[in-house]
Amino acid sequence: MSYMTEAGLQKLIDELHQMKTVERPSISKQIAEARDKGDLSENAEYDAAKEAQGMLEFKISQLEDIVANARVIDESKLDLSKVSILTRVKLKNHNNGATLSYAIVPEKEANMKEGKISIESPVAKGLLGKAVGQIAEIKVPAGLIKFEVLEISR
């Protein structure tokens, strides 16, 4: 089971729909065209199309499993007294004085450019359960960093 936001689940459903309705028929067409070219024993186009088909079917199967086992998190019921999944946390890095802001999201929705870190990341794990004013000492590849929780929001 994986926890997701409504938007994250919809993104996966849309991706699955694209694979089934656009990519799958396209690969089937490529296989048919390659088959029409004759001898399949030495047909690189046919082999490539069949391999692409196998990879696509594997991806479809994986996405179907994720979607079937996804549980949408009700953001309206978040406890903002402590850091948890789907909260946005404003932090002060005590090592360098920088102020940072991250949203803690399910692994599939992580995107550093958007300030979304995976709940599986060392920083998120170290912050979970902390309240405003508390300091989390988090071991990262660069060493130990002290983060003070300044604010928790949605």
Looking at residue 43, what is its pLDDT? Answer: 77
Other CB atoms within a 10 A radius of the CB of residue 86 amount to 18
- Only one residue has tokens 């296989």, namely 31
- d(C-alpha 47, C-alpha 53), whole Å: 10
For 60-98, the pLDDT digits (tens) are 999 999 899 888 887 777 788 999 988 999 999 998 999
CATH topology of domain 78-153: Chitinase A; domain 3 (3.10.50)
For 20-44, the pLDDT digits (tens) are 999 999 999 988 888 887 777 777 8
Residues above pLDDT 70, as percent of the chain: 98
What does CATH list as the number for 2-72? 1.10.287.180
pTM over the 0.85 mark:
no
- d(C-alpha 86, C-alpha 118), whole Å: 10
Q: Where in the chain is the domain with CATH 3.10.50.30?
A: 78-153
Looking at residue 145, what is its pLDDT? Answer: 92
For 90-126, the pLDDT digits (tens) are 999 998 999 999 999 988 889 999 999 999 999 999 9
Q: Where in the chain is the domain with CATH 1.10.287.180?
A: 2-72
